[in-house]
Structures are given as C-alpha cells and as structure tokens.
Amino acid sequence: MQTPQAPALRGRPPTITRARIADAGIQIGLPNITFVGVASALNVSQMALYKHVGNLEGLKQLVAEEIFSRWQVPRAKSPVQGSLEDYLQVFSAATQAFVKANPGITPYVIRRLVATPSMLDKIREHQEHIAQAYGVSFERSRYLMGTVAFHCLALADTVYAVAGREPRVAVERVVEEVEMEGILQLGMTALIQGALAMNEHDISSGISTQFLDTSALPMARVREFPLTMELATQWLDDMETLIKAEQEFVLVYESLPDPSNPGDPEGRKRVVLWLKAHRDGFGRYCRGMVMMCEDPTLREGMQAMVEPLEKVYRVPGGVASNADELREFIQKWVTPN
C-alpha cells in the first residue's frame, strides 16, 4: 500500500531570507547542516534554497556569520569597573561560552580567509571600544583582544570536541569536561598576564597575532552568481566597508555561474547603480578579481569568462582552484600594509 502524500500547502510559498536560513541552520547546528535539513526546516525545496546559497560551504558560512553577528561580546562598563586584566578574564570566559554554545563555529572565526568584512568590522569596532575605555593604544588593544580570542577559541574548541567524542557515561563526561575547563581557565589566566606584560615595542615589532585584522583579509566575496537582491546587498556592503577602511581588496567569485538562472534584475540594477556611485573608490581600492573553480576540466572555460569581466571592472582577473592559489593572486595584486 502506498503512503498517502501530504496535501500541497496553499497560499504564497514561504519566503526565503538570510535570517530564516540562519535560524534554521542554528537550530540544526553547524556540524549537522545539510541542504536537505535546512530546506525541510524552511518548508521549501532544495532547488529553491540553492537559488539563495550556491553550495553547502556557502550555507555553513552564512550560518556562521549570522551566529557571530548575534554574539553579544562583553562591553566595558561605563564608568569602567576593574582593571583591563579583569575585563580580559570576562572576555575570555565569554569566548569560551560562545564556542561551547556553538559547536563547529571556531574554523569560521579563527581563520583569516574565511571571516567576512562584516565580521571584521565588528571585531575592529570592539577593539577600538576597549582601547578607548581603558586608555590604551588601538595597537595594544588589538594585540590583547586578538591574542586572548585566538587561543581561547582554539583551546575551547579542542576541549569541547574531545569531551563530546568519547563514548562514556554522561556523568563521567561532565566531570571530565569540568576538569578540562578548569585547566583551560588557568591557562588563559597565565596567557592574559603574560600578554599584559608585553611592552609596546614588542607588540609593534610584529609579535601581534593580528587576529582577524581587516588588512589580513582583503577580499569581497560573491558567494553565488547570478546574484539575488539579498546577496547583491551583502556583497556591496562588504565592498563599501573595505573602501571606507581605505583597504585594497580583491573580488572573489566563490561558486560557478549557473547559466540556467537569469538572476534577479533588481539585484543587477542595484550593482550597476552602486558601481556608478562608487566609481572612484572602487577604482582606487579594487585590485583584481578571482573566480574559484575546483574542477580542472572547467578551468579553461572559466578563464574565458574572466576576460569580459576584466573589461567591465577594469582590473586583472584569474582563476584559482584552491586557497593557496587565491592567496598568491592577493599577494601579487594587493599592496602589503
């Protein structure tokens, strides 16, 4: 006997927005995200979801970026209470809790080549806030916040990944996790005290981790092409952030164009109008354009697509099959700070 199919829903189809995709992905959890799972949670088809996010990695990136944007990073109290060391302890604890609450988030916030301009903008604003609140230079604030964040993210990710992996009784797992958390916190205390002992000369000499500094990621990503209005808006916002920061950057097309999809005419119109309005800034800071293509059989065809885009954007173009090749293009085109 055949299982009866559920009746088709009437009325307008569910609206797919960046916020709804992120909500569904957060509910599922980054390690478990699939196109099938997110589409099911949104009550839409996989093809409908593909029109908004081109591939699984792009879907995870979208969710990770939204998780980070929603994270309420502790602010300095006004008037300031306690020392800078006290604040760094609070920040470390908050970062540890952030990793624990969001399994799988660490690779998306600790790696320079994955973070987005909006994430970098949030980090820089917070570093400036702490510098002003505690009367230290921005360079020192960036060094301290970056050092604490980098090590806490990496250590907490290891602690919670290991604690949840072994097939042990729940009580034993909790006890082990608490023990490792205690070691982590002691280690972070030692790190914070050591970082505070560093003088300005040591920091300015290049010892700083430069964790997620804007200059470390001079890219504006186009995650899907042709563009939807939502993706166009995100892309243009990222470029505007880089231009305002007077940062040279490279355009990166992350997924292969879909010839069957004409795209959103309103999205194309917005891009054209934006480029006209920002002609000077774009011409001054955009240094090149790279199309990502992992399939070697498609590389020649992709290279042919680059040539007309070079004429449109008036910048050199290239095709990269991996992150190392992309990095080579960026290092060749972008002036080191």
DSSP structure class, residue 296: G
Q: Could you give the CA distance from residue 181 to residue 99 in angstroms, rounded to a whole number? A: 12
Q: Could you give the CA distance from residue 244 to residue 249 in angstroms, rounded to a whole number? A: 12
Q: Could you give the CA distance from residue 312 to residue 323 in angstroms, rounded to a whole number? A: 25
Three-class DSSP category at 250: strand
Name 17's Cβ contacts closer than 8 Å, sequence gap at least 6.
230
Name 330's Cβ contacts closer than 8 Å, sequence gap at least 6.
218, 219, 250, 288
**Model pLDDT for residues 130-186, shown as the tens digit of each residue:** 999 999 998 899 889 999 999 999 999 988 887 655 555 555 667 778 888 999 999
Pick one of 2.60.40, 1.10.760, 1.10.10, 1.10.8 as the CATH number of 18-69.
1.10.10
**CB-side neighbour CA atoms (13 Å) of 266:** 5
Q: Sketch the domain layout of the chain as residue ranges.
A: 18-69, 76-207, 218-333
**Model pLDDT for residues 273-320, shown as the tens digit of each residue:** 888 888 888 888 899 999 888 888 888 888 888 888 888 888 899 998
pLDDT of 3 higher than 60: no
Its pTM stands at 0.61
Residue linked to tokens 């309005």: 277
Residue linked to tokens 């498609």: 298
